Amino acid sequence: MKEKKSELIGEKLIKELEKKKNFFQAQTTASFFKTQKGAYGFGDIFWGVTTPQSEAIVKKFWQVISLAETEKLLDHPVHEVRSTALRVLVKKYQKGNAIEKKEVVKSYQRKIGRINNWDLVDLSAPKILGDYFFSRDKKFLYQLAKSKNLWRRRIAIVSTLEFIRRKNFTDTLRLAELLLSDPADLVNKAVGWMLREVGKCNKEILQNFLKKNKEKMVRITWRYATEKFSSKEKKALEQR
């Protein structure tokens, strides 16, 4: 009976999202997330639900929907259902005790194949995997970095945003080095972004990393990483 009740909650959540459908917003969003044939978001479906609308629904449902039903939502073909499900997981993780946090991480790992766009990665990976693995063995993140799937590689590096916030840069730099020659533009950008975040905390560490690795770094990663540098600083780095 309890499982049936949870299933009904999942259906109610989907219906709440469906009420927010906006055809024109959906078209704009689909274009933004590159859903055309051959692009990274091909086949994804959008309803045009905004982030504030999704967050309001999360607030209403996160305490009453089970982890199992949340996982089912991640199998849904509509992007905003999956993003809302991930926001539910984030909320459950943040509000959970140690045992509950571990269960959320297990759910995340089981459904990692459904975290298949950059926004889904970015809204969830640092807050769940980043927080969880900060004080634990990080082998799982290094396994993701070696994956053939670009989203898993992005999850690996973006998860370390939480490490950076806590002034620990070691694994960010190690993972960045592993991914410097990545063939995927969205991984290159993520690596550059994380390096830039390191630089905000400690410019010298970033400068040393850039000097050491500039020959291996693709242009987009370099551009993202040095965004906060002055023209003079960029020129000095490029000449060394």
**Domain count of the fold of the chain:** 2
Phi, psi of 182 (to 5 degrees): -60, 140
Write out the two tokens for 214: 């500039």
Q: How far is CA 29 from the centre of its chain?
A: 18
In a domain, 1, yes or no: no
90 within a domain of the structure (yes/no): yes
The parent domain of residue 82 ranges over 12-27+40-114
Q: What is the pLDDT of residue 1?
A: 42
Whole-number Å distance between alpha carbons of 121 and 138: 18
On whether the CB atoms of residues 47 and 20 are closer than 8 A, the answer is yes
Whether 165 and 89 share a structural domain:
no
- Residue 32 covered by a domain: no
My answer on whether 106 and 74 are in the same domain is yes
CA 165 to chain centroid: 15
Instruction: Specify if 126 maps to a domain.
Output: no
CB 212 within 8 A of CB 182: no
Q: Does one domain contain both 155 and 105?
A: no
Specify the CATH number for the domain of residue 169: 1.25.10.90
Say whether both 110 and 143 belong to one domain: no
| 67 within some domain | yes
CATH of the domain at 84: 1.20.1660
pLDDT in tens, the chain (240 residues): 455 555 689 999 999 999 999 999 999 998 888 888 888 888 899 999 999 999 999 999 999 999 999 999 999 999 999 999 999 999 999 999 999 999 999 999 999 999 999 999 999 999 999 999 999 999 999 999 999 999 999 999 999 999 999 999 999 999 999 999 999 999 999 999 999 999 999 999 999 999 999 999 999 999 999 999 999 998 888 876
Between the alpha carbon of residue 152 and those of residues 47, 128, 190, the distances in Å are 25, 14, 12
Picking from 100, 98, 73, the residue whose alpha carbon sits closest to that of residue 87 is: 73
